[in-house]
Amino acid sequence: MQIKNQHLSDVYESLAARSAGEPEFLQAVAEVFESLSPVADARPDYIKAGIFSRIVEPERFIQFRVSWVDDEGNVRVNRGYRVQFNSAIGPYKGGLRLHPSVSASVIKFLGFEQVFKNSLTTLPMGGGKGGSDFDPKGKSEGEIMRFCQSFMTELYRHIGPDTDVPAGDIGVGGREIGYMFGQYKRLTNRFEGVLTGKAIPSGGSLVRTQATGYGLLYFTDEMLRDRGMSVDGKTIVISGSGNVAIYACEKAQEMGGKVVAMSDSNGYVYDKDGIKLDVVKQIKEVERLRIKEYAARVPGSVYTEGCRGIWSIPCDIALPCATQNELNGDEAATLVKNGCRAVAEGANMPSTPEAVECFLANNIAYAPAKASNAGGVATSGLEMVQNSIRMSWTAPEVDEKLHGIMKNIYASAKAAAAEYGMAGNLVAGANIAGFQKVADAMLWQGIAY
């Protein structure tokens, strides 16, 4: 890790001393601070106002018990979280994750990243994140519903359309948002835009389901065009087969790309003729089965046990769309050796710091998550606008706005990198562009929290 500015380095060391057992959170802060060194050099007023020390401390961190009863009548207890990280530019906004790996560290890393990502969208949204270590895998419909209701029975008192507006993330799709929304309405007697990712008849936005994946491809195409390339005709590998991966695949195919592999946490499938997305959707969205099933249904495709081997498949473009730290330095080197020219992150922090270093050192077109996967939260922001004005836009209207926002994010990340002498480095550019707006708002609002 290389935080060049002394003040930033001191703030990081002090945070690290107070955050034992929070490696993902510290990894995210270190990455952002590396990029912000030139900003700290140029802006002593930020240092004087304690902006950097304040921005790494969440405004509020809520942890709570979630108890529920399983189908056999046993009482089960999980841990629920919501971090309300920064509200300088708008109400807290960010997803809820249900996965056994969820911890305070994971929620804080995601909430911290969300602050800058939301700022990049140009919409007025602060940063938050939440979730639970509940594992939805293997649970019945009734168990999922009872868990979501119990989770909301505590969360509802901390959120609201002008306070904090959660959305989905890993393990939380339309079904779970529906159960949570129903419980919120029951408890408060209010029908309001308190969650995004809602079903269309309940105030959801068209294109929200597709938004993160579509936005990722809009960003990727923009980045490639700047280098005289495009998605058209490229061979693409996508990790994961959840919400982000499926709609990244859909848009990549629409743009003329050939997606040859997808995965889940057990393994990956390779289809040299191009992934049949209707089969993946049937397996994952309808039947909720494992990706292995794809090989049983599509002749000529091959399943390999173990998800990490996916990065050994030669491709022009790699789109990690599964989870954090799913692509390490060695795997990045293999991608480069096999001729990969672009990596764009659909998942949050999927590349380890060593992998990022490898991409930058080899002049790979590299799109960091907080810029390239911001399409989901941007469209959540558009859902909030539609709820506020009590109107809904058509799919082409939302898609056009999403496309414009992704182009804009690319342009601002590129410009910020160039302004601070790091032309082409979108990691630095996205961090700086996202940070500056939040820092200026904090400066303007005084030191009250």
Of 352, 340, 345, nearest to 320 by C-alpha is 345
Residue of 429, 311, 430 whose CA lies nearest to 373: 430
Closest distance between ligand NDP and the C-beta of residue 310, in Å?
Answer: 7
Is residue 238 within the footprint of ligand NDP (CB under 6 A)?
Answer: no
* Catalytic residue (choose from 108, 129, 139, 414): 129
Q: Which tokens is 109 given? A: 């890393």
Asked if 351 is part of the footprint of ligand NDP (rule: CB under 6 A), the reply reads no
**Which stretch, 12-20, 57-65, 175-183, 344-352, contacts ligand NDP (CB under 6 A)?**
344-352
- Please give the span between the terminal C-alpha atoms of the chain, in angstroms, as a whole number: 29
Within 13 Å and on the Cβ side, how many CA atoms surround 411? 8
**Interface with ligand NDP includes 136 (CB under 6 A)?**
no
Closest to ligand NDP by CB, 89 or 207: 207
Tokens of 82: 């919501």
Pick the closer one to ligand NDP by CB: 22 or 37: 22
Contact with ligand NDP (CB under 6 A) among 148, 170, 206, 417: 170
Among 221, 326, 383, 399, binds ligand NDP (CB under 6 A): 326
Using CB under 6 A as the binding rule, whether residue 244 contacts ligand NDP is answered as: yes
Tell me if 212 contacts ligand NDP by CB under 6 A: yes
What SS3 class is residue 427?
helix
Is 129 one of the catalytic residues?
yes
Q: From the list 37, 86, 220, 241, which residue makes contact with ligand NDP (rule: CB under 6 A)? A: 241
Q: Which of 376, 371, 327 is nearest to 207 (CA)?
A: 376
CA distance 192 to 194: 6
Q: Which stretch binds ligand NDP (CB under 6 A): 175-183, 240-248, 415-423, 425-433?
A: 240-248
| Residue placing its CB nearer to ligand NDP in the complex, 224 or 321 | 321
Point out which span in 45-53, 64-72, 257-265, 388-396 binds ligand NDP (CB under 6 A). 257-265
Q: Is 94 in the site for ligand NDP (CB under 6 A)?
A: no
Q: Using the minimum distance from each CB to ligand NDP, give the nearer residue, 121 or 239.
A: 239
- Residue from 149, 373, 412, 436 that binds ligand NDP (CB under 6 A)? 373
* Bridge pairing between strands 75-86 and 60-69: antiparallel
One of 178, 242, 257, 429 touching ligand NDP (CB under 6 A): 242
Give me the least distance between CB of 391 and ligand NDP, in Å please.
Answer: 23
Say how far apart CA 117 and CA 86 lie, in whole Å.
12
Query: Which strands make up the sheet holding 164-167, listed edge to edge?
Result: 60-69, 75-86, 127-132, 92-98, 164-167
Cα 306 vs. chain centroid, distance in angstroms? 23
Interhelix angle 353-361/329-337, rounded to 10 degrees, is 30
All residues at 6 or more sequence positions from 220 whose CB lies less than 8 Å from its CB, including other chains: 231, 317, 319, 342, 344, 367, 372
Active site residues: 129
Q: Which residues bind ligand NDP (CB under 6 A)?
A: 168-171, 212, 239-245, 263-266, 307, 321-323, 326, 346-348, 373, 376
